[in-house]
Amino acid sequence: MAEPGSDFAHCEALVREGDPDRFWSTLFAPADKRPHLHALYAFNFEIARVREAVREALMGEIRLQWWRDALQGEMRGDVRANPVAAALDDTIVKFRLPHQSLVDLIDARIFDLYEDPMPSLNDLEGYCGETSSSLIQLSSIILAGGSDTGTADASGHAGVAYGITGLLRAFPWHARQGRVYVPADILARHGVVRDDVVAGRGGPGLAAALADLRAVARRHLEQARTLRATIPAAAEPAFRPLALVEPYLRAMERRDYDPFQTPVELPQWRRIWALWRGPF
Q: Is the pLDDT of residue 74 over 50?
A: yes
Candidates 43, 45, 15, 44; CA nearest to 27 is 15
The number of C-alpha atoms within 13 Å of 224 and in the hemisphere containing its C-beta is 30
- Specify the CATH number for 116-280; select among 2.40.50.100, 3.60.21.10, 1.10.510.10, 1.10.600.10: 1.10.600.10
pTM of the entire predicted model: 0.94
User: Do residues 260 and 200 lie in contact, with contact meaning Cβ atoms separated by under 8 Å?
Assistant: yes
Q: Is the pLDDT of residue 3 over 80?
A: no
Count how many residues are written for the chain. 280
pLDDT category of residue 2 using cuts at 50, 70 and 90:
very low
In angstroms, the CA 269 to CA 266 distance is: 8
Domain boundaries defined on the chain: 1-114, 116-280
Q: What is the DSSP string of 13-68?
A: HHHHHH-HHHHHHHTTS-TTTHHHHHHHHHHHHHHHTHHHH-SSHHHHHHHHHHHH
Percent with pLDDT over 90 in the chain: 84
117-143 mean pLDDT: 97
pLDDT of 152-170, one tens digit each? 999 999 999 999 999 999 9
